[in-house]
C-alpha cells in the first residue's frame, strides 16, 4: 500500500510532513484490515482493491487533509490507485 500526500514543502524543515503523522492517520485502519477476513469489514461492500483503496481514503482523509492518493497492490504489477474521485 502507498499513502501519497501533496502540498507545499515547509522551508524550515525541508519536508511536507512527518512520516509519523501519516502513520498515525493510517495505522488504525491498516490494522483493522490486516489479517482480517475482508468480507467482514463494516462498510466495505466488496473486498476488491478498488473498494479497499476507497474505504481507506474515506477514513484517512479527515485526519490527513494532504492525502492525494491511496494505492493498493495485489501483486507487484497489479495495483489500484484512488484519488478521491
Segment 4-19, tens digit of pLDDT: 999 999 999 999 999 9
CATH code of the domain in which 51 resides? 3.30.479.10
Task: Give how many domains the chain has, as a whole number.
Answer: 1
Q: Which of 35, 84, 37, 38 is nearest to 59 (CA)?
A: 84
Q: pLDDT exceeding 70 applies to what percent of the chain?
A: 100
Q: Please report, for residues 19, 35, 68, 75, the alpha-carbon distance to residue 6 in angstroms, rounded to integers and kept in the order given.
A: 13, 30, 6, 25
Residue 59 structural domain: 2-82
* Chain length of the chain: 85
Which residues, including other chains, have CB under 8 Å from residue 82's CB and lie 6 or more apart?
Answer: 50, 53, 54, 56, 57, 69, 70, 71, 72
Q: pLDDT exceeding 90 applies to what percent of the chain?
A: 94
State yes or no: pLDDT of 21 exceeds 90: yes
State yes or no: pLDDT of 49 exceeds 90: yes
Amino acid at each position: 500500500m502507498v499513502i501519497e500526500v501533496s502540498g507545499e514543502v515547509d522551508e524550515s524543515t525541508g519536508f511536507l510532513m512527518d512520516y509519523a503523522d501519516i502513520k498515525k492517520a493510517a495505522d488504525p485502519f491498516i490494522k483493522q484490515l490486516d489479517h482480517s477476513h475482508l468480507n467482514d469489514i463494516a462498510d466495505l461492500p466488496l473486498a476488491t482493491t478498488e473498494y479497499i483503496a476507497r474505504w481507506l481514503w474515506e477514513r484517512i482523509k479527515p485526519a490527513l487533509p494532504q492525502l492525494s492518493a491511496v494505492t493498493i497492490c495485489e501483486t507487484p504489477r497489479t495495483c489500484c490507485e484512488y484519488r478521491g474521485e
